[in-house]
Structure 1
Amino acid sequence: MSRVLLHDRRIVIDGRPRLLLAGEVHYFRLPRAEWADRLDRLRECGGDTVATYVPWLWHELPDGAVDLTGRTHEQRDLAGFLDLAHERGLYALVRPGPFIMAEIKNEGIPYRLYDEHPHLLPTTWDGRTVETRTIDYLAPEFLAAAEGWYAEVMPVIAERLADRGGPVIGVQLDNEIGMLSWVTNSPDLTDVVCEDVRRWAVDRYGKDIAAERIGADPGDPDAWAAAVRTPTEARSLTVHDDLGRYMRDRYRRYVVALRESAERHGVTGVPFLINVHGTGGGRGRTFPIGISQLFEAYRGQPQLTSGSDYYLGDLTVTNVADLYVSNAFLAAVHDAHQPPMSLEFEAGNGDYGQDLSTLYPPEAIELKTRLCVAQGNRLLNLYLFAGGYNPPLAEPVGDGNDRIAFTGERHGFAAPVDPEGRLNPTYAAARRALHAVRGVADLLADSDEENDGLALGFVPDHYLTEYHHPASASRAAQVADLERFRGMGPRDVLARALLLAGYSFPAVDLQSPLPADTPPVIALASAVTLGREVQQRLVEHLHGGGRLLLHGVLPQRDHDGTRCTLLADALGLTVTGRVDDGPQSFPSVVGQGWAAGRAEVRVGYAQRLAGIAAEPVLVEVSSGEPCAVEVAVGTGRALVITADVPCDLDFWRAAVARLGVRQRLAANADGPGLVLTSTVDPAGQRLLHLVNVAPSAVTLALGWQGVPVLAGRRLRVPARAGLILPYGIRFGAATLVETTCELVSRDGNTVLLRPTQGDDEVVLATDRPITASRGSVHSTQGRVTVRLPGGPDDDPVQISVA
């Protein structure tokens, strides 16, 4: 029996932090005879956990009975699949919905719910019926049906929980909650929901203010519903603001209901998980919308955490900051015990349409894996690990194929293991990635990413943009402004420049009190809209001696449209004008002061600023007015950049240096594209992470806190590859001080190392004799250097302490 806990942002199993490497295998899409092969493939790949959805639509039979043991069809034997996973030495992560998506029809909800309760399909803007097969989550009929499903499936899972001797170490509640409504811009606005909004608004504001904000009398249900479904232009921003905030609370209550139901039916003693959606088109710019929708549902909830749903395709300089920032933002709204993880970690070749319009390079999975574990992800679930076949529905519905999914017969044809069990090139890449991580898994499981005294500001309300009434001009303008400036900054340059300039940084939730360990410098990409509480918090940060890098435009309004210039007033800045790029307008800026000497550059916009105490940094050429300034505020200092300057890494390094940021891990590299960070465990053991997303090799000399690593020798990181270098790792009676090799394993007084350079070295501290399976050993006063000339295939080398 194993006890599983979430503690100190770690997954702790039997008192020991664990890094879990999972793969999604759908038993219901594979004949029973194939299950063992796919589970063995997962173990060979380096996995220790199997994850699976459990489709309600498949397990519920036409007569209303539920089969979870295979009595009607072997591919309904959830119990047998979990038992086999346990026999194969795997943990299990179970995802029983009610909604599961996974290309299942109705997202996994049985057809009979729609037949019996047609009103469960919500109405939306202007009273229209939604086009997707979503359901009002809090409708009593749906909750009752979901309770019935949980009453069947949860006892089967409960019998196999880890603390009862089984494999199950986590249970996901529903899937991608709120995603369908967001991607279709169709908020659930049934009569029941509108009435619930009324109660929520009156409780929050009182009747009079609620009436003013929505534009209808709360005592008139018809008028109230009409005002919510079709907001007037005068009330548009307040209605949208309140609707987004209400939905967060609605999703929170839905998760509470599901968790209470699961616990009633025996699932206790393992963590519950919430899957956060939001990536699209190979980018993560909209991923924080999912965080914004769901963070109130999990933050602060004991033994419950969120996981990402990442579909980013390849990893390049275009989107590496998307992945890094998504991880940081996700962690920013976790509490002190909630670890980040990825519940759907894209692993296939991208040929999702089976039309060969897209093929991702295999190394993409390795790059993403290395970056995510460096940022503290404690679980990665390769999705989809193995494909399969969609069986026919128990009862035909006449939709053209009568199968459980809309992908046809074959499913998961892009997965590392295809439906027929064949391996595509992503399998070997995933195996390399997982085995590279496996060698340092014990260190990663109990380590945290370090930072350079810099944090990226996260404003969840900047992502309350999932809904906009089609006729509202003011809402369209607000959303467009937020989409242009929020998060990673104009043109994504703020986050991309900081990351590729060699800095590593967490994010901080600016809508909550700043924690005591908040780095002294906050970098914020700001739009015209920035909430009053956030502006006040930034002012207090500055007056307390903190520093601020603001990139975007000067905030001037709260989210409901009311004027708010608290931050601008504290900075002593006003806006004197703005020039934007256009067919006959080519705004350019030039540096002054510490930024002088660089060539004039064209920008997409420049917001002109005025302030008596402001020191100009950039000026807009045609007017000569500043569009970037430094300002002292109390004992703090701010650098405000209101132009979308290019990703000039030297400029951004100089900018953050002005605010006191210094790199702890520096690389004198010969080209861009390298991401650097480090992780450290409570004992001070460190791993140096180098991820090269560039299409060419990068050579560099590393320095740690100003001290050259490996005496300043240059390292080569091949194109689209990574390294995890041990730095001060103990084994037996020795310390692995530094090396060019990756760590494969540690066992007592022996380490196994993988050479990476073709001419490698290992530096150890010990007074005992050292032996190496190859290479030369040189000892001097407690310091031992092992030199490893390149071999024919650079097999791992074993080093032992006598």
Structure 2
Amino acid sequence: MNKFGIEGGYFSLNGKKVFLNSGEIHYFRIKRELWEEHLKKAKEAGLKTISSYVPWVWHEVNEGEFDFSGTTQPERDLIGWIELCQKHGFTCIVKPGPFILAEYRGAGLPDWFLEKYGDTIKMHNSKGEAVLSDGVSLFNPVFLSKVEQWYNHVMPIISQKQVQNGGPIIMMQVCNEIGVFSWLAHQADYNEQVKEQFISFIKTRYSTIDELNTLWESNYTSFQEIELPPDGNTPYKSKGDRSRDYEWHCFWRKYYANYLRLLSSWIRKHNISIPLYHNLPGWIYGHGYEFPLNITMYEDLYEDKSELIFGVDHIPEFVSYRNLHDDRIINDIVSAMQGEKPLFAAEFQSGSREYHVVTNPREMELFYKASIANGLKGWNYYMFSQGKNPPAKGYSGDTFYWFTPLDNQAKPSSAFPVVQKMSRFIETHEELILTTKRKAEVCVLFYSPYYATELERPEVGASELKFVPARIRRSAYFDGLLKALQVLNVDYDMVDLASSSVNDLLAYKQVWLFSTDEMNAPDQQTIASFVTNGGNLVIFPYLPDREMNQKPCTVLRDTFKIKSSQPEIIDSPLIKLYNLTDIKCSNPLIAYTTEGIDGATPIAFTLRGSICGFEKNVGKGKVVHLGTWLGFDTEGHLQAYTTILERSKAQLANASSTNNFITVRQKFNDTSESLLFVGNYYNENQSGKITYKHPKTNERVQLPLIDGEIEIPPLYAFISPISKEIGKGINILHTTSDVIGINSNNNIITIHLTGDPGLIGEMVLEGINISKIKSAEISEKPIMLIWHNNRIVLNYLHSNKEIVLTLKMLDK
């Protein structure tokens, strides 16, 4: 019996760790007679898995009339599609909704259902009006009844065809992006079931109505009198108003979780045992800064609270220096929140859903390699095959996706060779990709309440906040601190503050915390205990003075013995920080008196000479506080971040570059091997010297090894195995080529390579048996063996085609 599962943060097939290399092909958008041709091309591209939605609207043609065998239309033959995938050696991922979205009109819900029940099941606003959206009230009994009937028909097929029963289906998506409707419309659902559930939720949060009234500044006599917060753009009226809104956001996190738990329980009743996942959106026209908001919607399902894993939508649309940091941050946040579950890109861009957004295969290849460096354990090319919508079903007309590796007739595009290349790269280095991890001595904390804002209303001062997280989190945190760390090539880990322990944080030599006025007491206590027990903390731009529900809380201020602070507004503010002058910052600046910081050492001053930052020993540890935020707008900001980082004595990077426009990253496994990513996100050549750590000896190794600098072409990256054995006693130390195949036989080692023609090829070999290498050839032409400190250096030219390096050994 075959088995597919999740073990220790990896996907596993029959007990072996695997990288999930999948492509999305929609059988319902491709003519039946072309199915086989698409699958043949997918096999040629090196894919192992095929993913598809299973649209409810497509298979329940009329109410109560189901077609899974193609009786009414050949393209409805779901059973035939699954069996054809298996015939061609593929495993399958199925996504039976009920919501599929996928630019399908009605988001996958049947037309007859929406026509008959639409007014009843739609989301409604606070005025009782149906919202113009594909979203529905998820716990509406009519909706749930019809979903359960849909599941009762489709799940037996999936159960029969799952891998444990001899079929190809290895994984299933549970619904799709359910929080997206409220997020995009900035609109909650105000149906009666929602109000009832909200009141029940609040009863679990407050022991008495008086306790609630104190925080909400209300005068309810019972919980049943509770009113829902207003929707739209009504500004907050008071702290109490904001307190209620915080609970409103917390409720939705429980609401979505309960909905997905319900669907999961229905699935499991059909004896389906394959892994389940839910998909998360977040990229907005090339940027991922809103993704953290989307994952916080599901925080009630994090870690061991649910069996679900989260699939990430990685749809950057373009790749450049402007967004070089986004995918890493998204991956890091997902890993921090979901715990020991594999990082999977469920929608991994290989085409464009909008015709005016023309994807570039070169940019996509850079993105794919960066995603490996940033920890993905699997991906699903979305879309691998273009589709044609059934009449009047496509949100964008008759065509679904453009610039895909295959068009709807199964003809390859310029994106096809990139998928082929990445498949061969994964196959060659699968274990190394899966087992290597980042080594970091610096940690950045993620605090999910700062992103619980999909329904947040305007803050005009009534809540008396110095810093509103939603206003500054992108500039101060996402595109500020985190981008600067990326540009500086700092190795850091992302940790979820709310689920971390003091011991977790003490493993790092420096911890950074973006903090505003609000932070819950347990989380303040974790940070306070971390510092007093020897931790090194950098916190900006504020020391919180209340919890998220607006209850006063000064745990951190009390621990650090900070007595008072005042905001200071300065036009075009600049600060002096340590020995740096005229560092751009932002208003308000939080000013302290000497007495107010109780013996701390001032480290930052405003243009008026006020103290706006200090360094202080607290217990066994130290806190560095900056009462403003810097962002990342100038080279002075890089100097400022570097100055603070270097005071930690932490090792900031395992791999580094003499040029900040060259991004480098190194990951290690437990068997003295590593992977080195070297990339240029800039749109012109960049030159520099790369230094990395030898995974066995800790030697600092340079690339190029001997002299000079490496010149990286625009929008290009390579991933080199470090200290990878290719023959007995012969290792690749590093290479500037992508190694996509290794064969060793009869004293001959052949290595299949690709690389950009603008990048000089260098491969360095080491090991106890390299003296047995007699000669080397590139595509049957001899190249020189250059000996350097008991290593062999091979230099060669890349071309637009694959090249083959042949090493011939001395006869035994």
Query: Common fold, TM-score beyond 0.5?
Result: yes
Distance 1:192 1:487, change over 3 A: same
Distance 1:490 1:781 in 2: 45
Aligned to 1:366: 365
Mapped contact 2:741–2:753 kept (Cα < 8 A): no
The structure 2 residue matched to 1:770, chosen from 762, 769, 773, is 773
Aligned partner (choices 718, 724, 729) of residue 713 of structure 2: 718
| Alignment partner of 1:606 is 2:613 | no
8 A contact 2:442–2:652 mirrored in 1: no
C-alpha distance 503-664 of structure 1, shift in aligned 2 (>3 A) = closer
1:486 equivalent in alignment to 2:473: yes
Counterpart code for 1:681? N
- Deviation string 1:532-562 (CA, Å, 9 cap, x unpaired) is 2222111111112111122333333321223
Q: Secondary structure at the match of 1:333?
A: helix
Aligned to 1:703: 691
Where 1:385 maps in the other structure, the secondary structure is coil
Counterpart amino acid of residue 499 in structure 2: S
Equivalence for 1:131: 132
Which residue of 2 is the match for residue 397 of structure 1? Answer: none
CA shift for structure 1 position 99: 0.6
Q: Which amino acid aligns with 1:455?
A: C
Residues 293 and 490 of structure 1: CA distance in aligned 2, closer, same or farther (over 3 Å): closer
Partner of 2:626: 641
Mapping for residues 422-571 of structure 1, pairs under 5 Å: 422-448=411-437, 450-469=438-457, 473=460, 481-486=468-473, 489=476, 492-514=479-501, 516-518=503-505, 519-520=507-508, 521-571=510-560
> Is the 1:236–1:474 contact (alpha carbons within 8 Å) kept by the matching residues of 2?
no
Deviation at 1:473, TM superposition (A): 4.5
Mapping for residues 651-730 of structure 1, pairs under 5 Å: 651-670=640-659, 672-705=660-693, 707-709=700-702, 711=705, 713=707, 714-730=709-725
Assess if the C-alpha contact under 8 Å between 2:354 and 2:401 holds in 1: no
Alpha-carbon displacement from aligned partner over 1:37-58 (angstroms, at most 9, x marks no partner): 2223333333222111111011
Indicate whether 1:789 and 2:796 are aligned.
Answer: yes
Identify if the C-alpha distance between structure 1 residues 10 and 477 changes in structure 2 by more than 3 Å, giving closer, same or farther: farther
Amino acid aligned to 1:7: E
- Which runs of structure 2 are paired with 1:369-448 in the superposition (5 Å)? 369-392=368-391, 403-448=392-437
CA contact (8 A) 2:203 2:223 kept: no
Question: Would you say the 8 A contact 1:766–1:782 is kept in 2?
Answer: no
Distance verdict in 2 for CA 1:165–1:249, change over 3 Å = same
Q: Secondary structure at the match of 2:679?
A: strand
Inter-partner Cα distance in structure 2 for 1:373 and 1:321: 14
Take 2:754 and 2:82, find their aligned partners in 1: how far apart are those partners? 39
Q: 2 CA distance for matches of 1:101 and 1:216?
A: 42
Q: Does 1:331 align with 2:370?
A: no
Would you say how many aligned residue pairs link Structure 1 and Structure 2? 775
Deviates more, 1:406-415 or 1:271-280: 406-415
Offset of residue 256 of structure 1:
1.3
Assess if the C-alpha contact under 8 Å between 1:765 and 1:782 holds in 2.
no
Deviation at 1:132, TM superposition (A): 1.0
Taking only aligned residues, the RMSD between alpha carbons, in angstroms, comes to 2.9
- Give how far 1:216 is off: 6.3
1:105, CA displacement in angstroms? Answer: 1.7
> Equivalent pairs: percent with the same residue?
22
Letter in 1 for 2:377: R
**Is the Cα contact below 8 Å between 1:488 and 1:495 reproduced in 2?**
no
1:177–1:294 contact (8 Å) kept in structure 2: no
Secondary structure class of the residue paired with 1:619: strand
3-state SS of 1:267 partner? coil
Say which is worse superposed, 359-368 or 68-77, in terms of deviation: 359-368
Q: Which residue pairs with 2:575 in the alignment?
A: 589
Q: Distance in 1 between matches of 2:223 and 2:523?
A: 35
Is 1:619 paired with 2:605? yes
Counterparts of 1:510 and 1:588 in 2: how far apart (Å)?
30
Instruction: Tell me what 1:54 maps to.
Output: 54
- Cα distance change of structure 1 residues 210 and 605 upon mapping to structure 2, 3 Å threshold: closer
Q: Distance in 1 between matches of 2:307 and 2:150?
A: 23
Deviations 1:93-129 (A, max 9, x none): 1111111100112211123334236322132335443
Letter in 1 for 2:710: L
Q: Distance in 1 between matches of 2:586 and 2:469?
A: 19
The code of the aligned residue for 2:479 comes to D
CA distance in 2, matches of 1:243, 1:499: 35
8 Å Cα contact 1:676/1:689 also seen in 2: yes
Q: Tell me the CA shift for residue 6 of structure 1.
A: 0.9
- C-alpha distance after superposition, 1:504-545 (max 9, x if no partner): 222101011328554412212222222222221111111121
CA distance in structure 1 between the aligned counterparts of 2:360 and 2:540, rounded to whole angstroms? 34
Deviation of the 1:335 alpha carbon: 2.5
**Match for residue 650 of structure 1?**
639
Q: Which amino acid aligns with 2:644?
A: A
Contact 1:689 1:725 in 2 (8 A): yes
1:271 corresponds to which of 263, 268, 275: 275
Q: Which amino acid aligns with 1:308?
A: V
Name the structure 1 match of 2:696.
none
The DSSP-based 3-state class of the residue aligned with 2:266 is helix
2:740 matches 1:754: no
2:3 corresponds to = 3
Give the conservation status (yes or no) of the 8 Å contact 1:776–1:788: yes
> Which residue of 2 is the match for residue 102 of structure 1?
102
Q: Which residue of 2 aligns with 1:288?
A: 292
In structure 2, C-alpha distance between the alignment counterparts of 1:712 and 1:532, rounded to whole Å: 55
* Cα distance in 1 for residues equivalent to 2:45 and 2:588: 49
Instruction: Quote the Cα distance in structure 2 between the aligned partners of 1:192 and 1:443.
Output: 50
Instruction: Provide the C-alpha distance between the structure 2 equivalents of 1:746 and 1:141, rounded to a whole number of angstroms.
Output: 58
Kept in 2, the 8 Å contact 1:667–1:700? The answer is: no
Equivalence for 2:311: 307
TM-score (normalizing by structure 2): 0.89
Q: Secondary structure at the match of 1:662?
A: coil
Call closer, same or farther: CA 1:443–1:240 in 2, change over 3 Å: same
Contact 2:666 2:674 in 1 (8 A): yes
Q: Which consecutive residues of structure 2, in runs of 5 or more, have no partner in the other structure?
A: 694-698
In structure 1, what is the Cα distance between the partners aligned to 2:486 and 2:724? 26
Structural mapping, 1:209-220, within 5 Å: 209-210=211-212, 215=218, 217=220, 219=222
| Equivalent residues of 1:543, 1:634 under 8 A apart | yes
Amino acid at match of 1:297: L
- The 10-residue stretch of structure 1 (600-609 or 382-391) with the greater mean CA deviation from structure 2: 600-609
Aligned match of 1:147: 148
Query: Where does residue 395 of structure 1 map in the other structure?
Result: none
Q: Is the 8 A contact 1:493 1:647 kept in 2?
A: no
- Could you tell me which amino acid in structure 2 is paired with residue 797 of structure 1? L
CA contact (8 A) 1:469 1:475 kept: no
Structure 1, unmatched stretches of 5+, are 393-402
On the 8 A contact 1:485/1:552 being kept in 2, the answer is no
Contact residue 363 and residue 721 of structure 1 kept, 8 A: yes
